Structure 1
């Protein structure tokens, strides 16, 4: 049975973070009942056209999914696992903010079926958290992490580094404090300026400056060194884990496997027969819900991915991983020989510099 990863987008936040360009919206009153009903309808729509699939992961992303009522999460998990065949080791992740109110729902989310929580800590420095527009403090974040570790079998949290004025010593200390909690997985992202965000406006005004490229590279190198001291290896550009604790859902993206995306603004890559489709839902939550109510789904675009684009996407996604690309799986997915796509001279230089390894099985 073909495996399937399922992404469920919850598009609402209490406030828009200044660095965020994700599809998130602030509403005085969230129409939760309507949104959940539309998500359930989209699940039915996808199941009807995809046919029997083995469900390997469910990921509640956002937005802020921890604003959802636990009953809503339970309803979506129940519907998904009734429509698709759940894998014995089905991974169910929910993104959460570490405020005390949202952390107070952790036990109810666990009872709903969530077995992995990803907490948006972002920093363990209170000044940095204020700069990043976060509503929690460092102490509150650590309390949420400790609570999450006691409730969920698996836990990860995010940190943002390469912030204005951040020194190498300060980052090592902050990262060391995070790793000392005893994590099995950590996502570490360099701060980038995304168009259309408040940070983009402030940065253009000269309100702050990011570290120079060489300084940011030193912070990246220090990240891998500190993580290694605690037994976490970089399995993807921004993700570190102990063996076996990698995010199975995100591995489905990087290994270029099928994933269905439902909810406002969600994207997907699904095979229908021999056709690979790129799917995209309407971004505005209320418009998306209206489309679902009218037609059973909120898609605004479904584009067939041709052979050339499929080969490029699989290459770019796979090279994000430390494990590289399985050559046989690549050929089966794209119909192309991976080595035939690589420039011989550039490949030779990359191998000589130590950036690339090629074996009979992997690149």
Structure 2
């Protein structure tokens, strides 16, 4: 398989610290445990040392949790620790996720000094009631202030928006989209609220205290996001992602291309083109195992060549560019039609996909129902 045995040129580092766990969040994180930062950094240093040599990178992504929670000096320490092992090449994309509350002039100076090119803001909404419903700890003006600091400093800014929040209306989503466009950010990710088991929201739903919005409204919210953002000049380049020209997230595109990537930190998953190895999701377990020299892996998903090819179809069809038959054969070793000829015919007949002889793409309707199509691909 193409690139499978080449050194990864993409790396993810998970920073698990937050000041507050939002009610819907099931990510790997610890809230109110800043006492663990020193041991986390020591464990991360040890995990990085498993590399046989430093990696030259096209993209580096610091996610969480909330990397910005480390503060300006903490981020400087983190980047200094990474510097010996993860070496972004000239022109590399370097992303740091941030809570709007953490974006200060000192934060901007620190991440710029560390070479960051892109900041991903967990804004979720620019409406005070929606933010309260989502259990967020910032307000709309915190998002605006953060963007006003970041854009003049030359960063590409990505803003996360959430739809289908408790009590949210279609008009509320339209207002959020208009506000996001007015901010001037280069990238917007739009996610529908999911009700995860084990979260505060999931428990409240079981008790009847919270209810999801109707499926028809959820669909309308997603459709209006496509309409409003495309009308504002954003390219809808992946199911949940929209970018102005030149604003695509190159790191995520590496994931969707199934290129190999490295990953470090609790809950982080690395991929060699065939096998996905995920670190233990518990921050304290990952720290303790790593510092004691034990294996900190929590899960290993080893795919055979056909399984890897089928996964490539799923992530490829989430992108508006779709999949080229010729390129797919080169990178996977399989003919696309040999794997999905029957479901592809059904999708085309139902208006869910198009086929120009080389490239297969999901239609807008196909993207709206795409989660229901993947069982036909994965088998």
TM-score under structure 2 normalisation? 0.86
Shift in alpha-carbon separation, 1:342–1:135, aligned structure 2, 3 A: same
- The answer for unaligned runs of 5 or more in structure 1 is none
Counterpart mapping for 1:254-293 below 5 A? 254-271=256-273, 276-293=274-291
Matched, 1:32 2:34: no
Between the aligned partners of 1:132 and 1:173, the Cα distance in structure 2 is 17
Indicate which of 20, 24, 49 corresponds to 1:19.
24
* Cα shift readout 1:287-326 (whole Å, capped 9, x = no counterpart): 2122222328632344432123212211111111111124
Aligned residues of 1:193 and 1:200 also touching (Cα < 8 A): yes
Matched with 2:178 is 176
Aligned residues of 1:129 and 1:136 also touching (Cα < 8 A): yes
Cα distance, 1:250 vs structure 2: 0.8
- The answer for unaligned runs of 5 or more in structure 2 is 1-5, 361-379
Cα distance, 1:53 vs structure 2: 5.0
Matched with 2:213 is 211
Matched with 1:222 is 224
Which stretch shifts more, 3-12 or 29-38?
Answer: 29-38
What is the total number of aligned residue pairs between the two structures? 355
Matched with 2:348 is 351
SS of the residue corresponding to residue 142 of structure 1 reads helix
Shift in alpha-carbon separation, 1:336–1:11, aligned structure 2, 3 A: same
Between the aligned partners of 1:54 and 1:328, the Cα distance in structure 2 is 29
SS of the residue corresponding to residue 187 of structure 1 reads strand
* Cα shift readout 1:16-52 (whole Å, capped 9, x = no counterpart): 100011111123433222212222222221x31xx67
Between the aligned partners of 1:52 and 1:37, the Cα distance in structure 2 is 18
Matched with 1:300 is 298
Shift in alpha-carbon separation, 1:240–1:206, aligned structure 2, 3 A: same
Matched with 2:377 is none
Between the aligned partners of 1:221 and 1:148, the Cα distance in structure 2 is 29
Matched, 1:253 2:255: yes
Cα distance, 1:100 vs structure 2: 5.2
Between the aligned partners of 1:170 and 1:95, the Cα distance in structure 2 is 25
Cα distance, 1:361 vs structure 2: 4.3
* Cα shift readout 1:194-230 (whole Å, capped 9, x = no counterpart): 1111111111222232221111111111101110121
Shift in alpha-carbon separation, 1:238–1:8, aligned structure 2, 3 A: same
Aligned residues of 2:195 and 2:201 also touching (Cα < 8 A): yes
Matched with 1:309 is 307
Matched with 2:153 is 151
SS of the residue corresponding to residue 321 of structure 2 reads coil
Matched with 2:112 is 110
TM-score under structure 1 normalisation? 0.90
Matched with 1:238 is 240
Aligned residues of 1:155 and 1:184 also touching (Cα < 8 A): yes
Aligned residues of 1:42 and 1:296 also touching (Cα < 8 A): no
Counterpart mapping for 1:21-170 below 5 A? 21-45=26-50, 47-48=51-52, 54-78=56-80, 80=82, 82-83=84-85, 86-99=88-101, 104-170=106-172
SS of the residue corresponding to residue 106 of structure 1 reads helix
Between the aligned partners of 2:355 and 2:41, the Cα distance in structure 1 is 46
Aligned residues of 1:161 and 1:171 also touching (Cα < 8 A): yes
Between the aligned partners of 1:113 and 1:262, the Cα distance in structure 2 is 19
CA RMSD of aligned residues (A): 2.3
* Cα shift readout 1:44-99 (whole Å, capped 9, x = no counterpart): 21x31xx6754111111111111124344345445555535633321111110011
Which stretch shifts more, 54-63 or 21-30?
Answer: 21-30
SS of the residue corresponding to residue 295 of structure 1 reads coil
Shift in alpha-carbon separation, 1:351–1:83, aligned structure 2, 3 A: same
Between the aligned partners of 2:91 and 2:101, the Cα distance in structure 1 is 29
Shift in alpha-carbon separation, 1:194–1:73, aligned structure 2, 3 A: same
